């Protein structure tokens, strides 16, 4: 027979697949639920949490948030699986107090009986209270027993002052109701807050040359250096320059066509150097405070060792041939897809283990972050298994899903285990699109488990205002990515305003670096309309603002404001989880025309009141302005190199 008197429903966080929600060390992870019981008695609730395997629980209060919803939070201090239980009970003392105060106010004739009810209640609850509080509770019970109606004013004051607080956390054992445990996977902080820089080492002459770039990348404030596949590249059906099918003898091929006589996923392409060169590169990055992320691309060139050694891992057509891989509309004629579900289950197990062993190989080489290529073309069940398996031994390993696909699929990959995900940001360019997408990511159900990583460009994607775009387009998109999302990244060349599309209808780059070596003059900078252009310093300022202001490491506190031209300006703020450190960002999404107008700020979101003057400080230019009220006037004119403000705020005492 069901016997719970209290219902705990609609608990968040949760995932659509039932897998653990996600949090990170040092993050305030919100916990909430609808908590209901019959009648009009008050309810109280708290949460207890612990890292899985720990014996003791930590306890935090939950507070009512209206409409029967209760909320609280916890802040984990270690990585790995955690569990949270919500506990609710009838607040009999609070109920009695409200009830009795009403009767006292109405001079009800049965007030004296009610005082005795209160005395009995205190006597009953006292044994649950901390030992130090018990005498006070029992004293009050005695007072209630001896109080007459005429003394009630004195009594009320006594009750209000101490007892409520004393009894707040005293759970009533008569109907203490626990929720089912909520599972939360806790990552290290970088899962939540990271700045990525992607580069092709071969364009720098291999690992040794690329290592010389690391100082500049660190100076720009990045903390993850991500390399496309570093493995031997196949020769059969190798792609030529500009994605052609007729390569010349010197074309290097796409790094994603993995595998050749020199080895497969655990080997290094000879043209990049040796394993020692790789180690030196990784050590240099780490000495500069950065991590190296590798590409985990589960596919094979026809020359990959697995093709010959494990024919059972590939699907053959009746004539013995293998279909090339596709991610419509893209065709990968130089790649065989792996058949992740061979007919024999033992083959599947062997294949999945081999894929896992590739990760273990690079983990043994000190790699802790993997950017996963097209995970949506491999089974969810594989990711669920391989990620859980790896993090059970290495809970600090992170996975970024490169799944540019349908929303439910992207969310499912995050739910079954990915730490971060690429997003639609790359194509969200209008102001309303950015607002809608930002709200969905920060406040939608995905906020429990889907961590966005905003990339203005990738080697595959040159989109929106960046196509043939001016430097202002590159600056404004960088500001949006770096301040709207706690995780962001750019692909090398962004700082040089590389802006030439493959064609008007193709969103790839002209002379894509995927198929050829691209030489850049890092000392000189890029070029735009005959002049030198270099966003290195600008990007450095952005990443510095991120590091200095905890608000920019938050996503859930993202709130949109308005302006006199909501089609041109995107206005948003964030605070740290505790509401401090407000940051206000204003971006003119038009890279050509100036925005001139009034902001329409929700001052409460910024911790400001309407009449107090406040100082805003632009983290990009160092300018300071003093404002009062919700409608300051601003101008953002790309013609003078000003597309955005990233303001920190300070209230001025008058």
Residue ranges binding its own copies (CB under 8 A): 1-5, 7, 9-10, 16-17, 34, 36-40, 67-68, 110, 113-114, 116-117, 119-120, 175, 317-319, 321, 326-328, 340-341, 376-381, 384-385, 406-409, 412
CA angle 100, 106, 107 (to 5 degrees): 85
SS3 636: strand
Q: How far is the CB of 623 from its own copies (least distance, A)?
A: 45
> C-alpha 55: how far from its chain's center?
29
Are the C-beta atoms of 485 and 435 separated by less than 8 Å? no
Q: What is the nearest approach in angstroms of its own copies to the Cβ of residue 385?
A: 6
Any idea which residue has 């009810």 for tokens? 117
How many residues does this entry show for the chain? 654
Q: In whole angstroms, how close is the CB of 464 to its own copies at the nearest point?
A: 23
Of 17 and 128, CB closest to its own copies: 17
Q: Which is nearer to its own copies, 219 or 339 (CB)?
A: 339
* DSSP β-ladder status, 487-491 and 194-198: parallel
What CA–CA distance (Å, rounded) separates 112 from 104? 10
Residue 308 to residues 204, 264, 501, Cα–Cα distance (Å): 33, 12, 38
**CB of residue 38 vs its own copies: minimum separation in angstroms?**
5
- Shortest CB 344 distance to its own copies, Å: 13
Q: Other C-beta atoms within 10 Å of 349: how many? A: 11
The whole-angstrom separation of Cα 366 and Cα 78 is: 20
Q: Which of 22, 71, 3 is nearest to 416 (CA)?
A: 22
Whole-angstrom distance, CA of residue 552 vs CA of residue 582: 9
Of the two residues 148 and 274, which places its CB atom closer to its own copies in the complex? Answer: 148
Residue with smaller CB distance to its own copies, 341 or 538: 341
Query: How far apart are the C-alpha atoms of 286 and 181, rounded to whole Å?
Result: 38
Residue 39 or 56 with smaller CB distance to its own copies? 39
The answer to whether 41 is a known catalytic residue is: no
The residues near 453 (Cβ < 8 Å, ≥ 6 apart) are 194, 196, 400, 420, 421, 422, 423, 485, 487, 488, 489
Of 352, 355, 363, the closest CA to residue 391 belongs to 363
Least separation, in Å, of the C-beta of 299 and its own copies?
A: 12
**Candidates 133, 402, 516, 554; catalytic one:** 402
CB of 380 to its own copies, least distance (A): 6
With beta carbons less than 8 A apart as the criterion, state whether 437 and 410 touch.
no
Give 198's strand partners: 226, 491
Q: What is the DSSP string of 512-539?
A: -TTTS-----TTT-EEETTEEE--HHHH
Q: 527 near 533, Cβ under 8 Å?
A: yes
Nearest approach, Cβ of residue 321 and its own copies (Å): 6
Closer by beta carbon to its own copies, 380 or else 528: 380
Please identify, using beta-carbon distances, which residue of 316 and 361 lies nearer to its own copies.
316
Q: Which of 11, 646 has the CB closer to its own copies?
A: 11
Q: Retrieve residue 538's tokens.
A: 């600008």
C-beta of 319: minimal distance to its own copies in Å? 5
Distance CA 208, CA 144 (A): 82
Strands of the 559-563 sheet, one edge to the other: 624-627, 614-618, 644-651, 583-588, 569-574, 559-563, 595-600, 633-636
Q: In this structure, are residues 327 and 341 in contact, taking their beta carbons and an 8 Å threshold?
A: no
CB contact set of 651 (below 8 Å; sequence gap of 6+): 607, 608, 612, 613, 614, 615
Q: In whole angstroms, how close is the CB of 258 to its own copies at the nearest point?
A: 19
In degrees and rounded to multiples of 5, residue 328 shows phi and psi of -45, 135
Select which of 87, 187, 373, 495 is catalytic.
373
Question: Least distance (Å) from its own copies to the CB of residue 318?
Answer: 4
Count H helices and E strands in the chain, helices first. 15, 33
| CB of 324 or CB of 528, closer to its own copies | 324
402 is catalytic: yes
Q: What is the CA radius of gyration of the chain?
A: 30
The answer to whether 480 and 588 are in contact (CB under 8 A) is: no
Q: Phi/psi at 601 (nearest 5 deg)?
A: -90, 145
Smallest separation (angstroms) from its own copies to the CB of 367: 25
DSSP state of 258: B
Strands 182-187 and 80-90: antiparallel
Total Cβ atoms within 10 A of residue 340: 17
- The residues carrying an active-site annotation are 373, 402
């Amino acid at each position: 027979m069901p016997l719970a008197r209290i219902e705990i429903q609609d608990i968040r966080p949760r995932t659509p697949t039932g897998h653990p929600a996600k949090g990170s060390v040092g993050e305030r992870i919100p916990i909430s639920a609808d908590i209901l019981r019959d009648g009009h008695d008050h309810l109280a609730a708290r949460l207890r949490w612990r890292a899985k395997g720990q014996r003791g629980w930590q306890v935090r209060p939950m507070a009512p948030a209206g409409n029967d919803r209760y909320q609280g939070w916890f802040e984990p201090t270690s990585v790995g699986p955690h569990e949270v239980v919500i506990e609710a009970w009838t607040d009999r003392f609070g109920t009695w107090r409200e009830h009795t105060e009403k009767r006292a106010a109405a001079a009800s004739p049965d007030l004296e009986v009610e005082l005795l009810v209160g005395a009995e209640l205190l006597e009953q609850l006292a044994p649950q209270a901390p030992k130090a509080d018990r005498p006070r509770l029992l004293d009050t019970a005695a007072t209630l027993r001896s109080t007459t109606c005429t003394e009630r004013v004195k009594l009320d004051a006594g009750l209000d002052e101490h007892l409520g607080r004393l009894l707040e956390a005293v759970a009533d054992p008569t109907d203490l109701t626990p929720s089912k445990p909520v599972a939360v996977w806790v990552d290290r902080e970088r899962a939540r807050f990271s700045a990525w820089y992607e580069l092709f080492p071969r364009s720098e002459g291999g690992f040794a040359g690329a290592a010389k770039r690391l100082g500049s990348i660190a100076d720009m404030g990045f903390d993850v250096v991500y390399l496309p596949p570093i493995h031997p590249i196949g020769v059969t059906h190798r792609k030529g320059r500009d994605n052609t099918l007729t390569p010349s003898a010197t074309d290097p091929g796409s790094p994603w066509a993995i595998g050749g006589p020199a080895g497969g996923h655990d080997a290094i392409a000879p043209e990049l150097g040796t394993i020692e060169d790789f180690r030196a590169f990784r050590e240099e990055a780490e000495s500069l405070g950065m991590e190296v992320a590798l590409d985990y691309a589960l596919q094979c060139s026809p020359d990959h060792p697995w093709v010959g050694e494990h024919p059972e891992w590939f699907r053959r057509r009746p004539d013995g041939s293998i279909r090339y891989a596709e991610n419509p509309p893209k065709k990968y004629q130089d790649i065989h897809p792996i058949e992740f579900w061979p007919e024999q289950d033992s083959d599947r197990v062997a294949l999945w283990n081999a894929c896992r062993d590739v990760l273990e190989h690079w983990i043994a080489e000190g790699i802790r972050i993997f950017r996963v290529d097209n995970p949506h073309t491999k089974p969810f069940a594989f990711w669920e298994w391989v990620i859980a398996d790896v993090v059970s031994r290495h809970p600090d390993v992170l996975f970024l899903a490169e799944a540019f696909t349908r929303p439910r699929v992207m969310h499912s990959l995050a739910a079954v285990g990915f730490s971060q995900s690429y997003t639609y940001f790359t194509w969200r360019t209008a102001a309303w699109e950015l607002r809608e997408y930002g709200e969905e990511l920060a406040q939608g159900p995905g906020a429990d488990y889907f961590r966005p990583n905003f990339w203005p460009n990738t080697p595959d994607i040159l989109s929106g205002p960046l196509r043939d775009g001016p430097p202002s387009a590159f600056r404004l998109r960088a500001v949006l990515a770096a301040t709207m999302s706690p995780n962001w990244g750019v692909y090398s060349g962004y700082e040089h305003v590389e802006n030439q599309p493959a064609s008007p209808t193709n969103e790839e780059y002209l002379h894509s670096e995927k198929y050829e070596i691209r030489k850049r003059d890092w000392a000189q900078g890029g070029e735009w309309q005959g002049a030198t252009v270099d966003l290195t310093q600008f990007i450095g300022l952005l990443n510095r603002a991120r590091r200095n202001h905890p608000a920019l490491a938050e996503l859930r506190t993202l709130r949109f404001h308005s302006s006199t031209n909501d089609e041109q300006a995107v206005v948003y703020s964030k605070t740290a989880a505790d509401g401090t450190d407000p940051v206000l960002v204003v971006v003119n999404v038009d890279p050509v025309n100036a925005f001139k107008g009034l902001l329409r700020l929700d001052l409460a979101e910024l911790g400001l009141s309407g009449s107090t003057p406040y100082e805003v400080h632009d983290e990009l230019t160092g300018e300071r302005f003093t404002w009062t009220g919700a409608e300051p006037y601003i101008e953002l004119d790309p013609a003078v190199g000003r597309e955005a403000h990233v303001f920190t705020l300070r209230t001025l005492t008058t």
